[in-house]
Structure 1
Amino acid sequence: MGLHPPPKVLIAGGGIGGLFLAILLEKAGIPYHVYERAPFIRPLGALMTLNANILPAFDQLGLLEPLAKISRVLSTVQLYKESLKLIGTIDVSGFKEKTGYDYFAFSRPDLYDLLISQVPVEKISFNKKVVWLLQNDEGVMIRTSDNETYHGDILVGADGAHSAVRQNLYKHLAKKNELPACDSENLKAAHICMVGTTVPLDPEIYPELKDEQSRTSTIIGRAKAHTWVTTTLSNNRISYSVTQQLDYETAKNALFRNSEWSPESNMEMIKEIYNFPVKNGSDGSGGRVRTLGDLIDATPPEHISKVFIEEKLFETWYGGRTVLIGDACHKMQPSGGQGAVNAMEDAIILANCLYDISDGKVPVTSERITDAFRDYREQRYAHAKFQVENSQDLAKILTGQTFAERLTRTVMYNLPKWIVTYDYLKQMGYRPQIMFMPTVPDPPNLRVYPQKPSKRYLAEQAERNNNSSIRLEM
């Protein structure tokens, strides 16, 4: 009797979470195909940071060195008033000896380019927005916006905060009265954010670019609902983001989608923020302070994007043969820098679970798929919930204008290094690894959260070791 084939996985969404899952399934020997709704890649996004939460997985995949080449090591995060008077500094340097990894800062498009280079070109299709799905005990079928249909065994919704896969899944679950009422509520929008990354700049005009390490400067607007952040990156570039708090009525009525925004629609906000001062530059002679306008002018218009910052933790992560990862099931504020990280952590745990049911010894039935999805959610939900709530708190601290928020902000940026280190190490203890590959040893003094091992991988390792012993005896 032959081995039963592994399930074929359809991945809706070619963002960071979808691509990372594709890389993992490639390593696991599980067939897949990625369907991305965009007709081509747009180099949008600004700063991203990755640390010991996710870097062990990059290490396992052989991607740590390529990531280091597109990154700078983050050293300090400084907070300023709009007058450019320093409020405080958080020192994030020197953690490698305690966690095993540096704190990398880079441009989001650079990471995207790295990930997509790891996916065979024939396994990703563009201009393929999933608009409809049908699933039963035999498999799952999707229809894309070009009226094509595709069949598989599992569908993964990695298609973002306004996931069409989630909407279709929830519609079916609601008809069967299997959807919690809270999952029918809209995402909440509390902020608007504009981001971009400049072309290479002159270090004589922007002296901080001469530093081999990355520096982040956050400026709190005076009597305005704006906070803006600049970060020095590799290749003499500066990323920037401007966050604007929305009033209650604006946030309540914010129902339109990010996809409806275009470079032309950015101009109103650009005019509003153009003269906001930045800390990174001078004219080299002690003259005028550089502004966000200088950085915007050094950025191709098509590389600037404006989005609503929405948030919501969904309770329902799967149903039938369909499962959600990333923003599709937990949309976070970017203040914690954990949105993409959690999407990749989802991908790791989901891939681990799918690997264990794909050993070929028994058929991959709907029941086994549901068990794998349940296992995935149980392993991920508590941490995702913590990160959603943590990002909400950080957003209030970093952008809030009440006396309590300003006071908390000042205290946070003036904490002793030992407190910063303690909190950092506590968070770095969550570092899921790919359990069907050789794991990276944990640092001796870091308290790491235990992870569920792969029964299949352990059994296969034991069998290989046993066969090796028999050969040696012969």
Structure 2
Amino acid sequence: MEINPAVTFTHDRSIMYAKRPKVLIVGAGLAGLTLGMLLDKAGIPFEIYERAQEVKPLGSAMYFSANTAPMFKQCGIYDEFVSVSKPVLNMMICNEQRELEYMLPLQGHEELFGAEGYIVARPKFYDILRRQVPQERLHMGKKVLSMDQGGNGVLLRFSDGTEAEGDILVGADGAYSAVRQGLYEKLKKEKRLPPGDGTPLPFSTVCLVGQTRPLTAEEFPDIELPDCQFRTAVGTNRPFAWKTFTTAQRTVCFIIMQFLDTESSKDNDAFRNSEWGPEAAQAMCEQVKDFPVMNGGAEGVTMGDIINWTPKDLISKVMLEEKVFDTWFDCRTVLIGDACHKFNPSGGAGAANAMHDAIVLANLINGLPFHPIAEEIENAFAAYKRERIDWVKKAYSSSALFRTMAGPTMAAKMVRYIMKRIPTWAMRKAELRVLSNRPSVAFLPPQVDKGSVKPFFQPSLSAMAPVEKEKARVEGSSKEVVVDLEASTKAV
């Protein structure tokens, strides 16, 4: 395929067969799989390309609140999601003396927003999503070497010598997205890249994540409780915070965050571009093994015990970059999830916002006409960014606040002091700002939202597929004819 930026189509759609745009998705993470699931339900052709040879069950736990429930219900995965999750009633903030300092309530959301919040182990949820995508559409071991786009399509070249052609390219390949790097390199040469987008991803923390084997009540008494025991411990005189989550599988997921200063940041800089995996984790495991853990009764449990209960190949060290990029799209290429906005995981907003990206983008791709030209595609991408950018910036600020709250600085102590004394009405007001954003899929049957707080206006819900637009046009014309006939009869 020869990609020519100068080529544009001035075709007559009335004499051409109905062809939906083919979408190439790079990255089989949560954003890529969610988009694939939605495009499959819309009947839009797509392929997903993942650089890894296999997906390993790495990661910790994820929090999903009422703002993803509508999509889960529309896609028929909500009941299974709930069955492998635990409801979350509170976030508990603890100290190194294994004492509870205060709690942030996370309950009562069903009445207000239509659904409660749940904690789910990342591998369990990933498995649910992956099963929604036809396996023949998922291609592993596909590392992108280069990409081209123009008026007549997009072209990907992979390290195994193969190529892929399509109409739309979606970069869902994470914080160090190959699609973003390829797109930005082109824009930089053309002097169209904003200066801020060309700077390296900033990071101030690294973390250790993992999930234990199933535990007994003697080992970890909190396992028996029906709701997730979500605890955050803050180091007294060391730059660390650590979180534990009990799961429906009787495991404990954990995240241990190290807040970097100038020197420790240099020590971790070589790790910046490495893959998730156990190799880089061993030194950090030794560093945190004596950290105390609250568990509901058993005495003297430490992070060393948690680590010993965890299969070594399921422990990984990861970077915690934070940035919202300004450039999300160009021509036929668009970015979603961590590829265009990376949050600190302290706020628990990364996965939900990646899925919200996929919902809005799927709605707008579904609303494209048959045989869309590059300008029509780019207009849809612009609408996608307009709908998402304010919510993304709010989530970024919220995540930064939670990161600060868990840190060792004087500012962190001040935030914790305020959060400990914040009135219930103020907490509820903050929840209203976040959970009023409950996006739905425009082309799937809507679900009844029983929350007393109605969802915020969603522009992409008005996007209609070409056949729906034609049907609406014909029905509208028919109504006009009936009205004209009635008027003529009355005149006679």
Scaled by the length of structure 1, the TM-score of the pair is 0.93
Q: 1:419 Cα deviation (Å)?
A: 3.0
Flag the 1:274–1:8 CA change in 2: closer, same or farther, 3 A. Answer: same
- Residue 421 of structure 1 is aligned with which of 428, 434, 445? 428
Q: Secondary structure at the match of 2:280?
A: helix
Question: Which 10-residue stretch deviates more, 288-297 or 443-452?
Answer: 443-452
Residue 300 of structure 1: aligned partner = 311
User: Given the alignment of the two structures, is residue 440 of structure 1 paired with residue 455 of structure 2, yes or no?
Assistant: no
**Structure 2 vs 1, CA of residues 460 and 206 (structure 1 numbering), >3 Å: closer, same or farther?**
farther
* Structure 1 counterpart of 2:289: 274
Deviations 1:98-129 (A, max 9, x none): 11101110101111000000111100010111
Q: Which residue in the other structure is 2:407 paired with?
A: 399
Q: CA shift at 1:460, angstroms?
A: 6.6
Distance change (3 Å), C-alpha of 1:261 and 1:231: closer
How far has the Cα of 1:281 moved from its partner?
Answer: 5.2
Report the Cα distance in structure 2 between the residues aligned to 1:385 and 1:173, rounded to whole angstroms.
Answer: 23
**Alignment counterpart, residue 148 of structure 2, candidates 96, 109, 134:** 134
Unaligned runs of 5+ in 1: 470-474
For the residue of structure 2 that corresponds to 1:219, the secondary structure is strand
Asked if the contact 1:281/1:289 (under 8 Å) is kept, the reply is: no
Q: Alignment identity in percent?
A: 38
Q: CA deviation at 1:417?
A: 3.3
Distance in structure 1 (CA, Å) of the matches to 2:352 and 2:475: 35
The aligned counterpart of 2:323 is 312
2:390 is aligned with what amino acid?
A
Q: Is the 8 A contact 1:197 1:240 kept in 2?
A: yes
CA gap 1:255/1:157 in 2 versus in 1, 3 angstroms: farther
What letter matches 2:396 in structure 1? V
State the shift of 1:256 in Å: 3.9
The aligned counterpart of 2:123 is: 109
Partner amino acid for 2:324?
L
Distance in 1, matches of 2:470 and 2:272, equals: 47
Matched, 1:349 2:360: yes
Distance in 2 of aligned mates of 1:282 and 1:368: 61
Query: What is the distance in 2 between the residues matched to 1:39 and 1:163?
Result: 17
> Which string of whole-angstrom CA distances, capped at 9 and with x for unpartnered residues, describes residues 284-318 of structure 1?
xxxx4101111111111110110111111110001
Q: Deviations over 1:58-90 (max 9, x none)?
A: 111111101001100011211111111221011
What is the aligned counterpart of 1:248 among 262, 278, 284? 262
Task: Give me the whole-angstrom Cα distance separating, in 2, the residues matched to 1:406 and 1:222.
Answer: 10
Match among 207, 221, 231 for residue 221 of structure 2: 207
Q: SS of the counterpart of 1:48?
A: strand
Matched, 1:264 2:275: no
Cα offset for 1:445?
A: 2.6
| Two-structure CA RMSD over aligned residues (Å) | 2.1
State the Cα distance separating 1:431 from its structure 2 match: 1.2
Match of 1:472 in 2: none
1:82 aligns with: 96
- Structure 2 distance, partners of 1:23, 1:399, is 38
Q: 2:343 aligns with which of 320, 332, 336?
A: 332
For 1:11 and 1:184, how far apart are their aligned partners in 2?
23
CA distance in 2, matches of 1:56, 1:413: 32
Q: Quick one: structure 1 residues 260 and 65, their matched pair in 2 at CA, closer, same or farther if it must change by over 3 Å? A: closer
Alpha-carbon distance, 1:462 to partner: 4.8
Contact 2:232 2:241 in 1 (8 A): yes
Q: 1:464 to 1:292 in 2, by over 3 A?
A: farther
| Aligned CA distance change for structure 1 residues 455 and 260 (closer, same or farther; 3 Å) | closer
Question: How far apart are 1:423 and its partner, in Å?
Answer: 2.0
Q: Helix, strand or coil: the match of 1:383?
A: helix
- AA in 2 matched with 1:411: I
Counterpart Cα distance in 2 of 1:459 and 1:7: 17
Tell me how far apart the structure 2 counterparts of residues 49 and 187 of structure 1 sit (CA, whole Å): 25
Q: Would the aligned equivalents of 1:217 and 1:229 in 2 still touch at CA under 8 Å?
A: yes
In structure 1, the residue matched to 2:188 is 174
Q: CA deviation at 1:461?
A: 7.3
Report the Cα distance in structure 2 between the residues aligned to 1:423 and 1:290, rounded to whole angstroms: 35
Please state how far the C-alpha of 1:57 moved relative to its aligned partner. Answer: 0.7
**Contact kept in structure 2, 1:205 and 1:282, CA below 8 Å:** no
Larger radius of gyration: 2
Q: For residue 483 of structure 2, what is the aligned residue in structure 1?
A: none
| Aligned position for 1:14 | 28
Q: CA deviation at 1:51?
A: 0.8
The separation in 1 between residues aligned to 2:271 and 2:250, in whole angstroms, is 36
SS in 2 for 1:257: coil
Distance in 1 (CA, whole Å) between partners of 2:346 and 2:30 is 18
* CA distances 1:192-240 after superposition (whole Å, capped 9, x unpaired): 1001111100013311111111111111112100000111111211111
- In structure 2, give the amino acid aligned to 1:383: W
Q: Which runs of 5+ in 2 are unaligned?
A: 1-14, 480-492
1: CA distance, partners of 2:98 / 2:171:
43
Distance 1:49 1:261, change over 3 A: closer
* Range that drifts further, 410-419 or 119-128: 410-419
Match of 2:406, SS?
A: helix
Residue 261 and residue 210 in structure 1: after superposition, are their counterparts in 2 closer, same or farther (change >3 A)?
closer
- Residue 482 of structure 2 is matched in structure 1 by none
Question: Does structure 1 conserve the Cα–Cα contact (< 8 Å) formed by 2:111 and 2:451?
Answer: no
Residues 3-57 of structure 1 deviation map (CA, whole Å, 9 limit, x = unaligned): 3301110000000000000001001111000001110011111010101111111
Per-residue CA deviation, residues 360-404 of structure 1 (Å, 9 max, x unaligned), is 3xx2111111111111111111111221122112211122331x4
- Flag the 1:439–1:401 CA change in 2: closer, same or farther, 3 A: same
Give the TM-score normalised by the residue count of structure 2: 0.89
Q: Does the C-alpha gap of structure 1 residues 217 and 311 become closer, same or farther in structure 2, counting only changes over 3 Å?
A: same
Within the candidate set 73, 79, 84, 1:65 is matched to: 79
